[in-house]
Amino acid sequence: MNRERETWGSRIGFVLAAAGSAVGLGNIWRFPYITGENGGGAFLLIYIFFTFVVGVSIMTAEFILGRNSKLSSVGAFKSKNRSWTFVGALSVLAPFLIMGYYPVIGGWSLAYTVKSLTGLLASPDIEGTFVNLITGTWEPLIWMLIYLSFNVFIILRGVTKGIEKASVILMPTLFVLLLIIIVKGLTLPGASEGLKFLLKPDFSQVRPSSFLVALGQAFFSLSLAMGVMTTYASYLGKEESLPQNALIISTMDFTVALMAGLALFPALFAFGMEPSQGPGLVFMVVPKIFAAMGGVGPIFSFIFFAALMVAALTSSMSLLEVVVSYLMDERGMERRKATLLSAGAMSVVCIFASLSQGPMANFTIFGVGTLDFLDLVTDKIFLAVGGLFISIFVGWKLDKEMLFNEFTNHGKSAVGIFPLWYNLIKYVIPVMVTAVAVSGILSIKQTGVMLTGVAIIALLAIFSKKL
């Protein structure tokens, strides 16, 4: 079925939507705790380097694939080289599986947004409150379904009326909410120590693994190899500067991560808490900070978790759009049917992911629960390997003249930067991403999980011409 392809209504709409996809739980939930675990300011500098060297380069490559083909991820690769269709398929499978657990965590943030105003901070056992929430049966499922319905509502409305309009509202809202928390945190006694920890480099705290963690965080945070940037660029006009947009989007993504650090570390030090609290930092430690603020605590807790929920939503709706766009482009479905089918399948996986934290905790896949299995396979294997293949494909398989024309808009902009980008994407970045991919795969302790992820990629490659 031939249909007119949707387009963005404005440049700012595209930028905010793409930045919204990049900004997510990785910025507000993941970035603060891995920064705390890896020494603060020195890790921040390493993260900046990888974001603006590797991140911007691969994002630009994905933009070129999407805009040049005017197709979503699978079609973009298929149109260039059918044998490489598996990379596009991997970029659809990854967001589908991520959406098999992301709405679960998004539901937790939504629950905490509401609970902040209904007695969360008054609980004598804040950590126990979180454990009770995620190990429950019906409550986390209800929050997950409500959160997922927000995504469905936005995607059903399409690119301009749905994704773009939502992004124009949600992204400024996120910045304002984080700014409020930052201002409050900086006024607390002892907050300066938190600023010092975050902004003053101490390279004695950096470990060799910190470099791989920083590169992996930059990769995950920017939504690379998830098909999002390829899909979003397929709705983009020919007049847009792709490297400039990639730089703007990466800058916005980094800014939100930095703001999350500024929102948390001053308050952590002000109340004498350790910055290296691990994954439980946001849901089990942060509420204690707001509880210690007294009467204004519930208000600031509400603002913080609302910001977390908004950040999660801007990412998850883009992940849903990748799968929906695939069904529309490759299977000829109308948007409504594709959206409801995708969300329905994702909700089934989410149910198992949610229950794996409680009633189905004894049910494991190669020794790990459903949620952890999905996270390991996507984060440690699919995204890193997908990014490696994208850089190799663009650098070694695509016509250099086509890349030049897309990168520079036929010689109108960024002409001098093209040789640098081309050599990075062809020679340097594949080596860097290989290090992340190998390190991530070898870090998986469960051999079954590792072999499953690798086997799926191998099968996609074998049957790529039939996809």
pLDDT in tens, 193-211: 989 989 988 888 888 888 8
Rounded to an integer, what distance in angstroms lies between the CA atom of residue 315 and that of residue 311?
Answer: 7
- Largest interatomic CA distance in the chain: 65
CA distance 462 to 85: 10
CA pair distance 162, 151, nearest whole angstrom:
10
- Residue-level pLDDT at 28: 83
- Measured from the Cβ of residue 463, the count of other Cβ atoms closer than 10 Å reads 12
Topology of domain 11-466, CATH:
Amino acid/polyamine transporter I (1.20.1740)
Residue with the two structure tokens 């990785």: 26
- Domain ranges (residues) in the chain: 11-466
CB 294 within 8 A of CB 65: no
Give the closest residue to 301 by CA, choosing from 36, 111, 25, 37: 111
Query: Is 364's pLDDT higher than 50?
Result: yes
Higher-confidence position of 245 and 205: 245
Q: What is the mean pLDDT of residues 162-182?
A: 94
Residue 275 scores a pLDDT above 70 = no
pLDDT band at 279 (very low <50, low <70, confident <90, very high): low
Beta bridge partners of 368: 365
Lowest mean pLDDT among 28-37, 54-63, 269-278, 434-443: 269-278
Q: Which two three-digit tokens encode residue 386?
A: 């997908």
Structure-block tokens of residue 293 = 């603020």
From residue 231, alpha-carbon distances to 67, 92, 104, 124, 182 in Å are 8, 10, 24, 47, 34
Q: What's the confidence (pLDDT) of residue 203?
A: 85
Handedness of CA 331, 336, 341, 346 (dihedral sign): positive
* 411: alpha, beta or left? (left if phi > 0; alpha if psi -120 to 50): left
Is a pLDDT exceeding 80 seen at residue 422? yes
Checking if the pLDDT of 466 tops 80, the result is no
Q: What is the mean pLDDT of residues 165-181?
A: 94
What is the model's pLDDT at position 180? 94
Range in 91-105, 205-219, 415-429 the model is least confident about: 205-219
143 with 109: CB under 8 angstroms? no
- Residue 278 pLDDT > 80, yes or no? no
Per-residue pLDDT, averaged over 370-380, amounts to 90
What is the b/e burial string over 278-306, where b = at least 16 CB atoms within 10 angstroms of the residue's CB? eeebbbbbbbebbbebeeebbebbbbbbb
- pLDDT value at position 1? 46
Average pLDDT over residues 409-423: 95
> Given a cut of 90, is residue 353 above it in pLDDT?
yes
Rounded average pLDDT over 158-162: 94
**How much is the average pLDDT of 292-313?**
92
pLDDT computed for residue 3 by the predictor: 64
- Is pLDDT larger for residue 58 or for residue 204? 58
pLDDT of residue 25: 81
Would you state the pLDDT for residue 62?
96
Q: What percent of the chain has pLDDT over 70?
A: 98
Backbone angles phi, psi at 19, to 5 degrees: -65, -40
Question: So what's the pLDDT on residue 277?
Answer: 63
pLDDT at 467 over 80: no
- b vs e for 385-418, b when ≥16 Cβ sit within 10 Å of the residue's Cβ? bbbbbbbbbbbeebeeeebebbbbbeeebbeeeb
pLDDT band at 57 (very low <50, low <70, confident <90, very high): very high
The overall average pLDDT reported for the chain is 91
Identify the residue with better confidence: 172 or 29. Answer: 172
φ and ψ at residue 178, rounded to 5 degrees: -65, -40
Residue pair 358/372 in contact (Cβ under 8 Å)? The answer is no
CA atoms within 13 A on the CB side of 80: 27
Per-residue confidence (pLDDT) for residue 384, from 0 to 100: 84
Span 160-179, average pLDDT: 94
The pLDDT, as a whole number, for residue 65 is: 95
Q: What is the mean pLDDT of residues 100-109?
A: 95
Residue 292 zone, left/alpha/beta (φ > 0; ψ -120 to 50; rest): alpha
Lowest mean pLDDT among 31-35, 76-80, 257-261: 31-35
At 56 the pLDDT is: 95
C-alpha distances (whole Å) from 258 to each of 24, 28, 340, 462 are 13, 9, 36, 42
